Structure 1
Amino acid sequence: MDRQEEIADSPNEWVAQHIRHYLETNGQARPGMNDLLLTTRGRKSGKLRRTALVHVRDGDRYILAASNAGADQHPAWYLNLTANPNVTVQIGPESFPAAARTATPDEKPRLWELIVAAVPSYQGYQEATSREIPVVIIDRTY
């Protein structure tokens, strides 16, 4: 992703405020949360899109839940990375290129347990929707 290219932050005002705070504090996460910024390329617009998400670690990998707070549709960031898995991640002050993919059915149960153990509200999100919430695995590409 071209660093000079403009990045559009989430249209959700709460998320946009969180992104601004994260950037202004050089990547300071919310207390008790493992936050990161994920930049994807819009599958329709081709523009860079940034959102703030909670992650868990699995070795060197970063694990995300595409929960959309229990909504019945996948979040836009997830749809974007399924169309183009090349993403940029910022954790703290560090940004790096990465590749994102959906966990396989064999991988998902263990990873879902890690997510729910870290953030129990994700179980409620799954119960609130009929769709299966995807788990995303992010690997650094350098």
Structure 2
Amino acid sequence: MGFETAVRRLGRTRWFARVGRAASGLDRRLQQRTRGRWSVLGRPTLPQLILTTTGRVSGEPRAATLLYVRDGERFVVLGSNWGQEHHPAWSGNLLAEPQATVTLAGTTTPVVATIASDEDRARLMPALLEVWPGYAAYAERSGRELRMFVLSPAG
């Protein structure tokens, strides 16, 4: 079994989610400093981007490293919050202010976020589950529908 396959399998477990939550800030900083070339797990093998939103309370920039899939020119992300009962803060920020930026391999792109339509959700969920099968366990464990956002380049 390869490293990527092992990580995807472990990603479904509660203990891995706890470790992932704890390491996410360090991972984001490392990826920002290396322009996406390094992650806490080594060279990123999974598709990752840095989403920067505007804090709905603070008004300050808030960055989160997320897995994503492409849908043409659009990016698609899922608010799993590692299977916790509440939605991630970045998803609430996007609901309050849909203007954000995506940084991928050191290139920053302004985007506008929308909640995926039912049709897009049905079409795109299999691709997200292929990238990270743990999303299914996170949805079940959290007892909520995970918010799916489509991030379209602004302009």
Deviation, structure 1 residue 31:
2.9
AA in 1 matched with 2:150? I
Deviation, structure 1 residue 13:
4.8
Unaligned runs of 5+ in 1: 1-11
Q: Cα deviations across residues 64-112 of structure 1 (Å, max 9, x unaligned)?
A: 0101111111100000000000001100010011101110122211111
How many residue pairs align between the two structures? 131
Secondary structure, counterpart of 1:106 in structure 2 = helix
AA in 1 matched with 2:36? G
Does 1:120 pair with 2:129?
no
Secondary structure, counterpart of 1:43 in structure 2 = coil
Deviation, structure 1 residue 125:
0.8
Does 1:141 pair with 2:154?
yes
TM-score by length of 2: 0.79
Identity %: 34
Out of 72, 86, 95, the residue aligned to residue 59 of structure 1 is 72
Q: Is the 8 A contact 1:111 1:135 kept in 2?
A: no
Q: Is the 8 A contact 1:87 1:98 kept in 2?
A: yes
Give the number of the structure whose residues are more often helix, by fraction.
2
- State the partner residue of 1:98: 111
Out of 8, 32, 44, the residue aligned to residue 23 of structure 1 is 32
Give structure 1 regions of 4+ aligned residues with deviation exceeding 4 angstroms. none
Rounded to whole Å, the distance in 2 between the matches of 1:62 and 1:47 is 23
Rounded to whole Å, the distance in 1 between the matches of 2:137 and 2:143 is 12
TM-score by length of 1: 0.86
Unaligned runs of 5+ in 2: 1-20
Does 1:45 pair with 2:58?
yes
